[in-house]
Amino acid sequence: MLDRIKQIWRAQVRSTPDHISPSEDKNCVARPVVRPTAPRSFSWNNETILCLGAKAGFQRLGKSLSEAGATVAFRSLTRLQDLYLLPLEHYTMVILPSNWDGLEFDVVDIGGILRRADQNMFLVWAAEDFVLSQVADNEMRKFCDIALSLPASVESLELFLRPARSVLVHQKVTGMPRDFPSI
């Protein structure tokens, strides 16, 4: 019986084509391909944004992003596990609040989970407590790309989004971190 199982196994291994190998990206989130009309142009029409929170500053920012052409969705988390139920492959950016009232997780927890799920997704930490907005440094980049001071406009978010995108491109090309100061 054991010899028969070994024969079947060997036949199965020999019948598998050599070009099929385990994917290196098996833990990455598949994202729909968006092809803008101009290769280097930026347009809010190409952005799908998830706002994790329903505070007043988020609603104003979400409304202005929607008016600029972005697709915006609002979700509230009641448990950390709710994050795993979100269809993250549909979003190009997530806007995170500083905290979730009465819950035992914060922006570092949520941002870290999202960063590990998809390194190409832009994470914006938005709070009214920030005095200035800034592109994240190497430590903050573990859980966000931009720290945005609320209230904010679409133009101010775009101003910080452009340097954050260049940091991401630089990291992909060179494999080395690149810091940008506050703007």
Q: Report the topology of domain 43-174.
A: Rossmann fold (3.40.50)
pLDDT, average across residues 125-153: 86
Work out the number of other CB atoms within 10 angstroms of the CB of residue 136. 22
Which pair of structure tokens corresponds to residue 166?
A: 């260049």
**pLDDT at 6 (0 to 100):** 73
Query: What pLDDT, in 10s, does the model give residues 142-153?
Result: 888 988 888 888
Rounded to whole angstroms, how far apart are CA atoms 53 and 56? 9
Query: What pLDDT, in 10s, does the model give residues 75-97?
Result: 888 888 888 888 888 899 999 88
Rounded to whole angstroms, how far apart are CA atoms 183 and 178? 15
Kindly provide the b/e burial profile for residues 65-85, where b requires at least 16 CB atoms within 10 angstroms of the residue's own CB.
Answer: beebebbbbeeebeeeeebee
Helix 56-67 with 154-174: angle, nearest 10 deg: 80
**pLDDT at 72 (0 to 100):** 92
Amino acid letter, 77: L
Amino acid letter, 28: C
Contact 80, 105 (CB under 8 A): yes
Work out the number of other CB atoms within 10 angstroms of the CB of residue 63. 12
pTM for the model stands at: 0.68
Domain ranges for the chain, please list them: 43-174
Statement: residue 4 has pLDDT above 80: no
Statement: residue 70 has pLDDT above 70: yes
Pairing of strands 134-135, 93-96: unpaired
pLDDT band at 49 (very low <50, low <70, confident <90, very high): very high
**pLDDT at 178 (0 to 100):** 46
**pLDDT at 164 (0 to 100):** 67
Phi first, then psi: what are they for 51, rounded to 5°?
-100, 115
Contact 29, 88 (CB under 8 A): yes
> If you count them, how many residues does the chain have?
183
**pLDDT at 165 (0 to 100):** 66
Q: Which residues contact 12 (CB under 8 A, 6 or more apart)?
A: none
